[in-house]
Amino acid sequence: METKPLLQKPKKESLLNIRNLVMGNIVAVLYNIATAFHAPTLDQYLYKRMSLEVFGNNTGDSFNPANVTCYSNKTSEDYTLQEMAQKATANQQMYFSLANKVAAFFGALVLGSYSDYFGRKVVFILPAIGDMVRSGVLTAIIHWELDLKWYYIGEVLCGLGSTSNGILLASYAYAADNTPPRKSRTIAIAVIDTTRNIASAGTSAGTGFFIQDMGYFYPSLVSALIMLLLILVVVFFIRENKHSLKQTHRSKVNLVQGVRDVVGMYLFDDTCRVRCLFWLGLMCYFFSQMSSNGQLNINTLFMLNLPFCWTPERIGYFTMASSMVTQVLGVPMIKVFQYCIGDEVIGLFSAFTVTAADLLHGFATTDWMMYGYAMAGAFSFAAVPVIRAIMSRMAPKDSQGSLFTSLALSDHVAGLILSPSFAFIYEATMNFMRGFIFLVFASTHLVAFVLLIVFACLTYKHNRRIEHKDTVTIQDKEWPQQSSQSNLAESTEM
């Protein structure tokens, strides 16, 4: 007598786990709220300190960025000193960024390579501890007016925790752990980007008011406290998905094996064709993310000075408006487009629009042009989530942490190379065209667009197969045949 049904139900771990996805998004939201307090506080406090050093005691009697005058007479001594303050700020930002990126490269390599064995909690907690210490150090510097060199301690400790890429690595891997490898994963990864950026945008406006009215101390302190709250949420509410971890005894895991897992999909595993696809996907990701390594800090300086001379409050409004437009339209756009076109075409459209948006940003001289740039960038959201989702479908389910570690390492390498390069370009070109650096960013997105065309064409056949199979690999071998009833059961998972 038959004791087992011929048709097996899909494995539980391949189904959507809404509860875990929600908690993963809450962690990402808390992290971005904290960084939305920290980043503008650092940028504007640093500019104020540099202005005090350049101007002496003539910039005001308190550390309030609203007191930094925007001089427009190019023949005056004050205008020259203001240019010097901008250059000094850009240089100091570059040095802080380099200290962070060097430490983050090694931190991400160790942390990410172990995440497929020990779980995602550790990859959530250690970066949060590093960021909490960094915000705490900045708070102490602001309160006691310490030497800015103390901030290097915070940057290095934050980097060893793999900085923001560590949290994102854990968030994306956690989303992959709790979704089937088809269109749901694209949406889940896009939702993480949407919710965290909406949280960051909403906080940015409040941060502008906070800095304007209360100075720098309290925003920095709030950032540290939110990081502490994030750690508590991870400890008590994040659940591991054991089925997505490598089934190897932890005592046998070592750093060499972890590093081998990270680079294996590019150098050792599977066929040459599949490895080439991973390399091509990595290059698409690298050029798509390239500008993110310097755009935020440079854009703050760009808006603080001529021709805009915006206050922290106005910068907060703009950041909120531009991010909200992009993120609110992002996920609905992906979902609607998925009914008629594939992820690859969505990514191509997004890469093209972000190139156009950067071009407008580079030539912006009025407020309406800046808001036009924000609107043009509304559809630039999808390129990076689509690339992440395609590569996630290509990787085995127990290697998601290693995959997202490789992407995080790509960000860190780009930061090490490009952060000083972008700062140098901005410093060298600000006298004749302040927006020239954004034209450079446009060129990097144009390269990403061309590479994404090739990547989309080569992966299209594999991705169509993945949409109908309960697996996450694209191995170059025969795919398992399933009955029509099983395929119907799989289709109901969506």
Which among 99, 126, 97 is positioned nearest to 111, based on CA atoms?
Answer: 126
Residue 358 has pLDDT above 80, yes or no: yes
Query: pLDDT tens digit string along 8-62?
Result: 444 444 467 888 899 999 999 999 899 989 988 998 899 889 888 888 755 444 4
**Looking only at Cα atoms, what is the longest distance across the chain?**
97
Q: Residue type for 81, please?
A: L
Which among 171, 216, 221, 179 is positioned nearest to 196, based on CA atoms?
Answer: 171
Instruction: Check residue 474 and give its pLDDT.
Output: 35
CA distances from 66 to 214, 371, 393, 475 (A): 11, 22, 48, 58
What's the whole-number mean pLDDT along residues 222-243? 90
Query: Domain locations in the chain?
Result: 13-244+254-473
Confidence of residue 223 (pLDDT cuts 50, 70, 90): very high
**Residue 60 burial by Cβ neighbours in a 10 Å radius (0-12, 13-18, 19+):** middle
What's the whole-number mean pLDDT along residues 470-482? 36
* Residue 482 parent element (H or E): none
Number of H helices, E strands in the chain: 17, 0
Is the pTM value of this prediction over 0.95? no
In the 3-class helix/strand/coil scheme, how is 90-128 assigned residue by residue? HHHHHHHHHHHHHHHHHHHHHHHHHHHHHCCHHHHHHHH
Query: pLDDT tens digit string along 167-178?
Result: 877 888 888 888
Residue 250 has pLDDT above 60, yes or no: no
Residue 305 has pLDDT above 60, yes or no: yes
Instruction: Return the half-sphere exposure (C-beta side, CA atoms, 13 A cut-off) of residue 173.
Output: 38
Q: Residue type for 91, please?
A: N
Alpha-carbon distance of 285 to 375, in angstroms, equals: 23
Instruction: Check residue 88 and give its pLDDT.
Output: 87
* Contacts (Cβ under 8 Å, ≥6 apart) of 118: 245, 250, 253
What's the whole-number mean pLDDT along residues 356-381? 85
CA distances from 68 to 46, 71, 105, 450 (A): 12, 9, 36, 43
* Contacts (Cβ under 8 Å, ≥6 apart) of 265: 275, 278, 395, 399, 402, 403, 406
Tokens of 333: 């756009």
Asked if residue 77 lies in contact with residue 388, where contact means CB atoms within 8 angstroms, the answer is: no
CATH class entry, domain 13-244+254-473: mainly alpha
